[in-house]
A and B are shown apart, each in its own frame.
Chain A
Amino acid sequence: KQEVTQIPAALSVPEGENLVLNCSFTDSAIYNLQWFRQDPGKGLTSLLLIQSSQREQTSGRLNASLDKSSGRSTLYIAASQPGDSATYLCAVMIQGAQKLVFGQGTRLTINP
């Protein structure tokens, strides 16, 4: 059974810092891995999607890497801003079943 773990569960840093969020998964048979952002009481905003054949994806200040063999992904946020405060969710799409399995999320707070 695929399990997705995110560390840390919560993170609070001052504005301007670079930071890394971690995601690990137990089964490397995945189609892709996706990072989402969720603001309180809101739906999900897709940030980056990495196909299983890719190693990383970049969008603006965000960079996500994928090491499928070790079952790990990281989301790097450069020059953090208060507007980056949200919960970040990592999810993997299981091969065959085409289902997304989510981690518990990292609640990020950027202090001005």
Chain B
Amino acid sequence: GAVVSQHPSRVICKSGTSVKIECRSLDFQATTMFWYRQFPKQSLMLMATSNEGSKATYEQGVEKDKFLINHASLTLSTLTVTSAHPEDSSFYICSARDLVGASYNEQFFGPGTRLTVL
């Protein structure tokens, strides 16, 4: 089955530092990946859509200069939280869409990354 991994699973950093989170599709190619943020006891909110080889599309209210997204290959997208602050502490989840095969249009989710900014 389609598997998406994220690394790291958990990260703690000091305020003002930058943190990079990786999202990989392990057994399929994903021209499109998605980044979500989830605050405690809340649902997932889409932050941006990451397209391989082009710029990401950000949702309204999401600062593109703060949340840098790079989708350099068909199996890897990265989210960098720049100059992180405590309010950026959250659970970040990526998903990847398999455009080929029976699971067309289905999104497969990674296990998430817990970011804590001190």
Interface residues on B, range: 20 to 34
- Asked if B43 contacts A102 (CB within 8 A), the reply is yes
- Asked if B105 contacts A41 (CB within 8 A), the reply is no
Measured between C-beta atoms, what is the minimum distance from B75 to chain A in Å? 18
Does residue B44 face the partner (Cβ distance < 8 Å to A)?
yes
> What is the interface size of chain A, counting residues whose CB is below 8 A from a CB of the partner?
21
- Asked if A103 contacts B43 (CB within 8 A), the reply is yes
- Asked if A32 contacts B105 (CB within 8 A), the reply is yes
A46/B108 contact (C-beta < 8 A), A98-B97, A104-B43 known: yes
Which residues between 97 and 118 of chain B lie within 8 Å of chain A, taking CB atoms?
97, 105-112, 114
Interface residues of A (CB under 8 A from B): 31-32, 34, 36, 41-44, 46, 49, 89, 91, 93, 98-105
